[in-house]
Amino acid sequence: DGGITQSPKYLFRKEGQNVTLSCEQNLNHDAMYWYRQDPGQGLRLIYYSQIVNDFQKGDIAEGYSVSREKKESFPLTVTSAQKNPTAFYLCASSTTGDPGDTQYFGPGTRLTVL
Amino acid sequence: GQQLNQSPQSMFIQEGEDVSMNCTSSSIFNTWLWYKQDPGEGPVLLIALYKAGELTSNGRLTAQFGITRKDSFLNISASIPSDVGIYFCAGQLRGSGGGADGLTFGKGTHLIIQP
């Protein structure tokens, strides 16, 4: 099946620990994205990557880091510098070109920092 | 950053009624997308709009890309129980390098259907 997978579905960590969230896609999409969602809110962009070995900061990149070593994978690390890391994290990927770009989302990872 | 105002925040309707929600932006987009999200799941794409003035349907759903490129609406006709969920609008502006930037999301419209 083609799609976007995120693992795990639920993740618990102690305060002060770094944690890496996985995102894999087999859609052959060039662009990948990470968003954060807080209760009752829309999604906010953390980082995005339009091509392998390149990525850009989104609106709320502080306290997060990413890598894009392979087209299929775009892991997100939530560092201890992120002041309020408990949230629902969503990964997306998109096609590019005509008529436009359409983003498709994975199922999400809910991170709880204790 | 860009701001998207989505309204209404929530809607309480009877099964069978039509639904209308909209988004307005402080600046232009060249793509508008509408998503539906169920609790604890990722958003699912409903309709994508790429051209100002475009009107697109997907079953009982119809969405339009405003002429000014700063607004969009979504209509759902003859609502059914499975329409319950949170609907998000999202806008995207293609970057100066031609690549796709991230989406800017509205805060969502929570649709509740009363029996």
Pick among A23, A24, A103 to test the B interface (most B CBs inside 10 A): A103
Distance CA(A92)–CA(B69), nearest Å, equals 24
Mean pLDDT along residues B104-114: 93
B72 to chain A, any CB pair closer than 8 A? The answer is no
Residue whose C-alpha is closest to residue B105's, from B7, B6, B10:
B6
Q: Which residues of B touch A6 (CB under 8 A)?
A: 42
CA dihedral for B11, B61, A42, B15, sign (positive or negative):
positive
Q: Which residues of A touch B40 (CB under 8 A)?
A: 88, 108, 110
| Contact state of A96 with B6 under an 8 Å Cβ cutoff | no
CB A52 within 8 A of CB A70: yes
Q: What is the pLDDT of residues A34-81, one digit of tens each?
A: 999 998 788 999 999 988 999 999 999 999 999 999 999 999 999 998
pLDDT on residue B93: 79
For B99, the closest of A31, A40, A90 (CB atoms) is A31
A85 to chain B, any CB pair closer than 8 A? The answer is no
pLDDT on residue B99: 53
A70-84, A85-99, B85-99, B100-114: segment of lowest average pLDDT: B85-99
Q: Which residues of B touch A102 (CB under 8 A)?
A: 31, 33, 45, 48
| Contact state of A99 with B101 under an 8 Å Cβ cutoff | no
Q: Which residues of B touch A40 (CB under 8 A)?
A: 107-108
Q: Is the pLDDT of residue A98 over 70?
A: no
pLDDT on residue B100: 59
Q: Is the pLDDT of residue A8 over 70?
A: yes
pLDDT on residue B11: 95
CB A36 within 8 A of CB A87: yes
Pick among B45, B103, B105, B109 to test the A interface (most A CBs inside 10 A): B103
Q: What is the pLDDT of residues B14-56, one digit of tens each?
A: 999 999 999 999 989 989 999 999 989 999 999 999 999 999 9
Q: What is the pLDDT of residues B64-97, one digit of tens each?
A: 999 999 999 999 999 999 999 999 999 987 654 5
- DSSP-derived 3-state class of residue B76: strand
